[in-house]
């Protein structure tokens, strides 16, 4: 028996049981800093950051069809801009520029969005894998420039952030406050992205994803919606970077702008289900479990067998190998991701009266027909009937 029901022309997220589960999940996350250790709180915060990165990248790649390999650049840019505004003295700026953390974090996201807006018209002259290579080159250039500007970023030494959000007389630390800000930002990221995906703009992005030329012939402006997705995606990436930097209180061009952030984000989206709304949320949970939980499990096994001498290096190497193998096997045997798996076995589509069938277009993702339904409106917004969630 399926656990969830999807009504005709409706969203799966309209299911009351799923809404209740989402509320319970948010409340459970809110209790993490109060009921767990600092290490576990940091682990969950990392998961929330990956949710923000995954959801934002999925908007650009999964819905608009633009595979960007430069997501880490906007993540790092937001982190550094926010750091300069909360700790201006570290970059040689006057103290008068100092802003409250919350404002600085928002400005960090806006700075990333502004850069995306300026570069969007140029970078989108490239298509397909040329666009992907172009964004990767852009990220590499930004990383090298930031690494070279030691006076602004600290170079390889890094940049230390002087910030304390702890509440006097209240057992809530700086890390706890940043955790709650990150949780709020994650909920906002999911909410805003959902409203975009379900709106005319989201439908236009899906049309561009499926066939850019056909969408253009129906009155949709491909460049407009590609830049739109790029700017929104970059804003949330920058917001995630700013929050992460203020949690760790240290950022470094080599690590904060590293391409590994982009690769991990891709893995999160692919594991969860690319082109689906819930996929990045599920993928982030699975990725953090594999990336952080697997080494702990292997170390526990090593301790049980009393292994000594180079155990730490062996465990790290083995965990990376096992993680890679598991991800490859998952991609091969579950190409639709966790969302596709859940859709096959846990969802009843009332239009068919049975569990979701493999290959059925969900959430307006890849594979759905962008030209179905009425033609696009004159202002470029595709008036395509809402697709299933």
pLDDT at res. 117: 96
Supply the pLDDT for residue 351: 53
**DSSP-derived pairing of the beta strands 159-160 and 250-251:** antiparallel
Q: Is the pLDDT of residue 166 over 90?
A: no
Please check whether residue 112 is in contact with residue 256, taking contact to mean a CB–CB distance below 8 angstroms. Answer: no
pLDDT for residue 226: 94
pLDDT digits (tens, 9 = 90+) for 101-134: 999 999 999 999 999 999 998 999 998 889 999 9
Distance between CA atoms of 41 and 178, rounded to whole angstroms? 11
Q: List the domain boundaries for the chain.
A: 4-355
Instruction: Estimate to the nearest angstrom the gap between the alpha carbon of 320 and the chain centroid.
Output: 22
pLDDT single digits (tens) 130-157: 999 999 999 999 999 999 999 899 988 8
Please check the confidence at residue 263 and state whether its pLDDT lies above 80. Answer: yes
pTM: 0.83
Closest alpha carbon to 258 in 150, 132, 143, 154: 143
Give me the mean pLDDT over the 221-249 stretch: 95
| Residues paired with 251 in a beta bridge | 159
CB 62 within 8 A of CB 366: yes
Higher pLDDT, residue 196 or 349: 196
Q: May I ask the CATH architecture of the domain 4-355?
A: Orthogonal Bundle (1.10)
Nearest to 44 by CA among 297, 299, 292: 292
Q: What is the mean pLDDT of residues 14-27?
A: 82
Contact between 139 and 125 under an 8 Å Cβ cutoff? The reply is no
Q: How many CB atoms lie within 10 A of CB 15?
A: 18
Give 143 or 311, the one with higher predicted confidence.
Answer: 143
């Amino acid at each position: 028996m399926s656990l969830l029901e999807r009504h005709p022309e409706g969203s799966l997220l309209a299911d009351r049981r799923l809404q209740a589960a989402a509320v319970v999940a948010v409340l459970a996350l809110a209790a993490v800093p109060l009921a767990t250790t600092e290490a576990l709180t940091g682990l969950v915060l990392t998961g929330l950051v990956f949710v923000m990165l995954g959801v934002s990248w999925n908007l650009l790649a999964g819905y608009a069809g633009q595979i960007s390999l430069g997501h880490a650049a906007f993540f790092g840019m937001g982190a550094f801009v926010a750091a300069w505004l909360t700790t201006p003295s570290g970059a040689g700026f006057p103290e008068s520029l100092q802003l409250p953390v919350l404002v600085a974090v928002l400005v960090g996201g806006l700075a990333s969005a502004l850069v995306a807006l300026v570069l969007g018209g140029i970078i989108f002259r490239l298509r397909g894998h040329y666009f992907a290579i172009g964004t990767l080159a852009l990220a590499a250039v930004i990383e090298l420039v930031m690494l070279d500007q030691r006076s602004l970023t600290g170079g390889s030494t890094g940049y230390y952030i002087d910030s304390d959000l702890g509440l006097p007389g209240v057992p809530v630390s700086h890390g706890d406050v940043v955790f709650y800000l990150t949780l709020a930002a994650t909920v906002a990221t999911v909410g805003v992205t959902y409203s975009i995906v379900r709106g005319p703009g989201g439908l236009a992005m899906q049309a561009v994803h499926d066939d850019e030329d056909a969408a253009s012939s129906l009155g949709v402006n491909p460049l407009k919606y590609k830049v739109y997705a790029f700017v929104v995606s970059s804003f949330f990436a920058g917001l995630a970077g700013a929050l992460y930097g203020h949690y760790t209180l240290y950022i470094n061009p080599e690590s904060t702008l590293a391409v590994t952030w982009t690769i991990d984000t891709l893995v999160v989206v692919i594991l969860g289900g690319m082109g689906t709304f819930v996929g990045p949320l599920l993928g982030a949970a699975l990725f953090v479990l594999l990336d952080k939980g697997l080494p702990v499990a292997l170390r526990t096994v090593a301790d049980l067998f009393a292994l000594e001498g180079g155990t730490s290096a062996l465990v790290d190497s083995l965990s990376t190998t096992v993680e890679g193998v598991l991800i490859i096997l998952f991609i091969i045997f579950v190409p639709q991701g966790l969302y596709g798996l859940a859709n096959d076995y846990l969802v009843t589509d009332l239009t068919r009266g049975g569990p979701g069938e493999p290959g059925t277009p969900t959430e307006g993702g890849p594979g759905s027909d962008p030209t179905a339904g009425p033609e696009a409106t004159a202002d470029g917004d595709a008036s395509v009937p809402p697709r299933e969630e």
